[in-house]
Amino acid sequence: GAGVSQSPSNKVTEKGKDVELRCDPISGHTALYWYRQSLGQGLEFLIYFQGNSAPDKSGLPSDRFSAERTGGSVSTLTIQRTQQEDSAVYLCASSVSGSNTDTQYFGPGTRLTVL
């Protein structure tokens, strides 16, 4: 499809394991965002990629969280040594250029459950 896709849609893991979440942005969009949505909460900004610039990592909650964006397209969010409090829906969004007037298009999210 033409929208933002994310995989897997659901991930159940054991505490202490590492997980990788994938985001395929809309083709041609240079800006990519990761957010975390905990139950009953709004979206919490995690990280932002814009073209070849250094990513804005100011929202990452700890050094267990990291993200990469290869070739300016697909992005992977990695959570190492998962904890129960990491359980949430992880949403990815992309926009044309990252301007504050650009619409962010969201993927359906990955629901992560840490047992």
Partner 1 sequence: GQQLNQSPQSMFIQEGEDVSMNCTSSSIFNTWLWYKQDPGEGPVLLIALYKAGELTSNGRLTAQFGITRKDSFLNISASIPSDVGIYFCAGLHTGNQFYFGTGTSLTVIP
36 vs 114 by CB, closer to partner 1: 36
Count the helices and strands in the chain (H runs, E runs): 0, 10
Main-chain dihedrals φ then ψ at residue 86, nearest 5 degrees? -80, -10
Q: Which positions lie near partner 1, rule CB under 8 A?
A: 4, 31, 33, 35, 40-45, 48, 50, 56, 58-59, 91, 93, 98, 100-101, 103-109
Token code pair at residue 108: 């359906």
Instruction: Give the nearest distance from C-beta 85 to partner 1 in angstroms.
Output: 17
At 85, list the tokens: 């409090």
Q: Which residue has the tokens 């965002």?
A: 33
Residue with Cβ nearer partner 1 (14 or 27): 27
Q: Which is nearer to partner 1, 14 or 85 (CB)?
A: 85
